[in-house]
Amino acid sequence: MGGVLGMRLDRLAWAAAGLAVVAVVGYVLYAFVGAVVVGIFLYYATRPVERWIDADLGYSRVAAAASLLTVGLPLFLIMAYAFSVGAMELNQLFATYRLEQFRTLLEPYLALPPLTRPETAIDLVRDNADRIVASVGALLLWAGRLFVTVVVAYYLLRDDEKISRWLRRSVGEDHDVVRFLSGVDRDLDTIYTGNLLTIAITAAIAVATFYAFDLLAPGDPTVRFPILLGLLVGVFTIVPTVGMKAIWVPYAGYLFLRSLAWNELPLWVPVAFAVVTLVVVDFLPDVFVRSYVSKGDINMGLMLLSYTLGAIVFGWYGLFLGPLVLVLFLHFAERVFPNVVDRGSVRLVDE
């Protein structure tokens, strides 16, 4: 009896030690939760390329580094640049139409410059000394986040199969934990390498199309904020039913108003904008990009809510953390909750 009790106490002690270690690791990761989550996204976004390279070379380290350098980092930097420029264009939009009160919405994501420009460089430095110091600190912080993101993505790419084998060997091939994490892995692959890449590719096509259209259209810029409009078009590809038409159709109507009511544009400009956007930005990416990149059966309404609410609640990294929380919740509800609840414990008695 004493030996059994001693074994139980020994297991409880080890369990308590393990929980303490997990708590410390979780506290450290929480400080860089945004970088860790983006690193997970980068891992899924580059995993198909890494496995393709690894199949030819047979060296996981080389394949992981090559996939990050050739695909992962360029994709991440382009997305970061596009969102930064899009935020600045939104700031300019607010300033142009005297909507400065909405500029506070962008402050958590971008250090916005003042709407008025100083006359000299000395005035610029004097009036913005605090901002410059804060910008240097923010730059160092973002450099640290980028480092953590790359490290997380690299080691996941290099050791994901080792981690999978360790888990299966530890708990068993048919354990509920293995099935739960396998389902989570499949859905995260759907979200990160499917839907987010669809958004990124569609947005890139839209931005390039809008810039090219401005070069050909006469007079003032037809699309005054091409990156902002292109990003909105890309994001709205996941909106059920209407999709990106919720963005470009009203903008085409605005161009028709400028042409027919205000005589600012020839009539062919809004007509050409509507036709080109419908074919190049709307139809072709939907047929080719979505059919080859986006997959899975996750409800798109829930996906949209996860992106939107994640960004509102968590900030800039909520775009990546929100879908992760959604996937964990859905698989818990589907696989774990029915096994936890004793269906026979509660019965309705018909008297």
Q: What is the pLDDT of residue 225?
A: 83
Confidence bin at 89 (pLDDT 50/70/90): confident
Is the CB of residue 34 less than 8 Å from the CB of residue 145? yes
Question: Between vectors from CA 84 to CA 79 and to CA 89, what angle results, nearest 5°?
Answer: 125
Amino acid at residue number 165:
R
3-state secondary structure of 39: helix
162 shares a domain with 289? no
- pLDDT for residue 118 is more than 70: no
Q: Which domain holds residue 150?
A: 32-171
Q: Which has the minimum average pLDDT: 180-189, 249-258, 289-298, 340-349?
A: 340-349
85 shares a domain with 224? no
Output phi, psi for 349, to 5 deg: -100, 120
Percent of the chain exceeding pLDDT 90 equals 16
- List the one residue out of 218, 222, 199, 194 whose CA is nearest residue 210: 222
Q: Which has the minimum average pLDDT: 109-118, 243-252, 275-284?
A: 109-118
Q: What is the pLDDT of residue 215?
A: 86
Q: Which one of 141, 171, 201 terminates a domain?
A: 171
Structure confidence by residue, pLDDT tens digits, 145-194: 889 999 999 999 999 999 999 988 988 888 888 888 898 998 888 888 77
100 shares a domain with 249? no
- List the one residue out of 147, 145, 102 whose CA is nearest residue 317: 145
Tokens standing for 109? 């994501």
94 in any annotated domain: yes
211 shares a domain with 139? no
Q: Which one of 171, 187, 202 terminates a domain?
A: 171
- List the one residue out of 126, 94, 97 whose CA is nearest residue 112: 94
How far is the CA of 52 from the CAs of 36, 46, 56, 60, 261, in angstroms? 24, 10, 7, 11, 55
13 in any annotated domain: no
245 shares a domain with 182? yes
189 shares a domain with 327? yes
- pLDDT for residue 53 is more than 70: yes
Q: How far is CA 137 from the centre of its chain?
A: 24
How far is the CA of 128 from the CAs of 15, 95, 112, 134, 300, in angstroms? 53, 20, 11, 10, 44
Sequence-ordered list of residues with C-beta below 8 angstroms from that of 217, at least 6 positions apart, any chain: 265, 269, 272, 273
328 shares a domain with 230? yes
Q: Which one of 113, 140, 171 terminates a domain?
A: 171
Burial of 271 by CB count in 10 Å (0-12 exposed, 13-18 middle, 19+ buried)?
Answer: middle
d(CA 247, CA 312): 21
Structure confidence by residue, pLDDT tens digits, 198-211: 888 888 899 999 98
304 shares a domain with 208? yes
205 in any annotated domain: yes
Is the CB of residue 176 less than 8 Å from the CB of residue 338? no
275 shares a domain with 237? yes
248 in any annotated domain: yes
User: Taking the C-alpha atoms of 346, 329, 28 and 182 in order, what is their torsion angle to the nearest 10 degrees?
Assistant: 110
- pLDDT for residue 214 is more than 80: yes
d(CA 47, CA 210): 31
**Of 197 and 162, the one with more pLDDT:** 162
Helices 73-96 and 196-216: crossing angle in degrees, nearest 10, is: 60
273 in any annotated domain: yes
Q: How many helices (H) and strands (E) does the chain have?
A: 16, 0
263 in any annotated domain: yes
Confidence bin at 303 (pLDDT 50/70/90): confident
231 shares a domain with 243? yes
**Residue-averaged pLDDT of the chain:** 80
184 shares a domain with 199? yes
Tell me the whole-structure pTM to 2 decimals. 0.73
Signed CA dihedral, 228, 231, 235, 237: sign only: positive
312 in any annotated domain: yes
Output phi, psi for 275, to 5 deg: -70, -45
Tokens standing for 340? 């936890």
326 shares a domain with 179? yes
* The total number of structural domains that make up the chain: 2
First to last CA, the chain: 48
Confidence bin at 113 (pLDDT 50/70/90): very low
- List the one residue out of 305, 301, 309, 286 whose CA is nearest residue 237: 286
23 in any annotated domain: no
Is the CB of residue 259 less than 8 Å from the CB of residue 265? yes
